[in-house]
Amino acid sequence: MISLTALAISVLWAVAALSSGTRATPAAARRTAACWATGLLAVSLIPAVARPADPLGAWLGLPIAAWAPGTALAAVCVCGLLATALAPAADHPPRTVALVCLLFAAATGHLAVRHPVADALLWACSIALAWPFLRGPGYLMAQAAGMACAGWGVPLGALARSVAWTTRAPMAVLVAVTAVPVHATALPTPVRTAAAAFAAVAAAYALAQVDVRRVLAGLALSLNGFLLAGVAWQALAIAVSGLAMTTAALEARRGGLSLAIPNGSLTETPRLAVAFLVFGLAAVGFPPLLGFAGVHHAIEATPLLALAAAVNGITVLRAFLRLFGGVVHRTGEHDLTRMERYAVTIAAATLVAGVLV
């Protein structure tokens, strides 16, 4: 199927890349990209509230529709807003911000043209775009394996892309690389069981880490096991993107983050702390946030996921207490800026209100 709305948004993400990449400073590039993301998010919400329209025709055997069905397009744009608005200036110069926009153009392209050949081409484009940050044989082998499995009808694309979380690339790049919509697919019971076992192992890995980047990588890998078990992609994508970008905002303020000892101050950065906690709990399916129903149903179908969900919940709470429960006196650390609050509020509202199921 070809969606004209998704195609237009994909093209406009590319225009946003051109616009933000020519800015003189990282702050200006970030503002420009966030403004574009806001407009594209508004456009992407139209299909979510509009009535389904009849096909407009066909091209190369693919039906052409005015709207992109479902809310995946809006979810991608929410992730894009988070990635652009919270991208730290230190490791996101204008060229990197432009690259992030191009990666989101590729992500929305998967919704614009739903065809295996188009998916493979867009996947290859994403690999090429992100190669300056994600180069390495391990990442490349994971992508090749994911493409091969997709060719055999096994949807492991999200899991293959999540290998990017194990790198030290700029956080917005990681969010953009992994914010590719996952279409729900009925998988056989052995595959779901294997996915649940993988989720449990990755959850245990995340719990054992003290480096926050490694904790985030373990969580992301574990949550991909939930995706294979049937959890809605939209909720997990927004939650993980929000958790990653609030972590990036915290890194910009403190440098490298460790859970070895408690640090930070909840009273100094209350908005950042609440955002981190909301996104983290939403990612692990904490009620009543968006995603709880999907995680609950997945656990009913595959009980082994209950262990992974419990361990992931402990990991999120441990990270929250270690990162924001260190001291009670003032440390001089800045809370979320106005633009960061704006993006976080929109993303958190979707998770609390449950509007992008």
Average pLDDT over residues 109-129: 87
Is 161:143 a contact under the CB 8 Å cutoff? yes
pLDDT value of position 328: 55
State the total domains in the chain.
Answer: 2
Distances (CA, A) of 203 to 223, 261, 286: 8, 21, 16
pLDDT tens per residue, range 342-357: 999 999 999 887 655 5
Instruction: Specify whether 77 is located in the same domain as 38.
Output: yes
Q: How confident is the model at residue 323 (pLDDT cuts 50, 70, 90)?
A: very high
| Whether the model pTM is above 0.85 | yes
pLDDT value of position 202: 94
Which residue in the block uniquely carries the two structure tokens 């070895």? 260
- Domain housing 162: 1-176
Instruction: Specify whether 8 is located in the same domain as 155.
Output: yes
Instruction: Specify whether 328 is located in the same domain as 231.
Output: yes
Instruction: Specify whether 261 is located in the same domain as 134.
Output: no
Q: Of 176, 195, 224, which residue sits at a domain end?
A: 176
Instruction: Specify whether 263 is located in the same domain as 280.
Output: yes
Two tokens, residue 91: 């490791």
Average pLDDT over residues 321-329: 77
Q: How confident is the model at residue 53 (pLDDT cuts 50, 70, 90)?
A: low
Instruction: Specify whether 296 is located in the same domain as 323.
Output: yes
Instruction: Specify whether 145 is located in the same domain as 229.
Output: no
pLDDT value of position 246: 96
Instruction: Specify whether 58 is located in the same domain as 172.
Output: yes
Distances (CA, A) of 244 to 135, 148, 296: 20, 28, 23
Instruction: Specify whether 172 is located in the same domain as 190.
Output: no
Instruction: Specify whether 332 is located in the same domain as 214.
Output: yes
Instruction: Specify whether 131 is located in the same domain as 159.
Output: yes
Q: Of 176, 203, 233, which residue sits at a domain end?
A: 176
pLDDT tens per residue, range 83-105: 999 999 988 999 999 999 999 99
Q: Of 125, 160, 176, which residue sits at a domain end?
A: 176
Instruction: Specify whether 190 is located in the same domain as 269.
Output: yes
Average pLDDT over residues 257-282: 89
